[in-house]
Amino acid sequence: MKFFVDTADIAAIRELNDLGMVDGVTTNPSLILKAGRNIAEVTREICELVPGPVSAEVVAADAEGMIREGKHLAKIAGNITVKVPLTWDGLKACRALSDEGHMVNVTLCFSAAQAILAAKAGATFISPFIGRLDDIHLDGMDLIADIREIYDNYGFETQILAASIRTVNHIVDAAKIGADVITAPPSVIKSMANHVLTDKGLAQFDADWKQTGQKIV
């Protein structure tokens, strides 16, 4: 499974990248706002840091505008993935951009039917939003499983990028189902290392070691 980091925070990306935990990055207008930096500037810096796909999202609502913005964003770096919404205009933009050789991430997917359309339109990635489905009392993992089954049935090459990841369980469940990629905030990825029994074991080892009165160096 590939790990994408869902942030525009350069320091957070660098920390995880140095550990080999970053295969790509996803951004959106909200994350750009949170970073408080110019979109082209911060996106270029991320692309220089991470060799994998870096999603940069268009903001136009019409296909023509999305295509124009997508081409502009793609000029920032060779590893840019143009992110478009799963609307009819977004699908038109996806087809046009993918036909020109650009990677495209179709985002805000909430149904298997939408995912089929994205694959047919040539999407590189489809981003089903797990957490937002959970928020309305639907099981986001059911959607991941449905898309995995359908894509495998027909050999669609579009990669399933599980998004709106809120918990470690989301990551593990998506991995068990067979999502190609997850994108999650740095805090969620780092929390994968946490376990109460690990903490308990370390505390016991530390107490026992102190009783030996020894030093390793």
Domains annotated for the chain, with CATH where assigned, are 2-191 (3.20.20.70)
Q: In sequence order, what E strands does the chain have? A: 2-6, 24-26, 54-57, 80-85, 103-109, 125-128, 159-162, 181-184
What gap in Å lies between CA 126 and CA 88, rounded to an integer?
A: 15
Angle at which helices 112-120 and 140-154 pack, to 10 degrees?
40
- The pLDDT assigned to 155 comes to 98
Q: What is the DSSP letter of 19?
A: T
Active-site annotation holds for 75: no
- The pLDDT assigned to 169 comes to 97
Q: Which of 34, 83, 92, 190 is catalytic?
A: 83
Q: Which two tokens stand for residue 34?
A: 């949170």
What gap in Å lies between CA 23 and CA 26, rounded to an integer?
A: 10
- The pLDDT assigned to 166 comes to 97
> What's the pTM value of the predicted model, to 2 decimals?
0.95
Q: Which residues pair with 109 in a beta bridge?
A: 128
- The pLDDT assigned to 190 comes to 97
Question: What residues contact 160, with CB distance under 8 A and at least 6 apart?
Answer: 115, 125, 126, 128, 144, 147, 148, 151, 178, 179, 180, 181
pLDDT digits (tens, 9 = 90+) for 65-105: 999 999 999 999 999 999 999 999 999 999 999 999 999 99
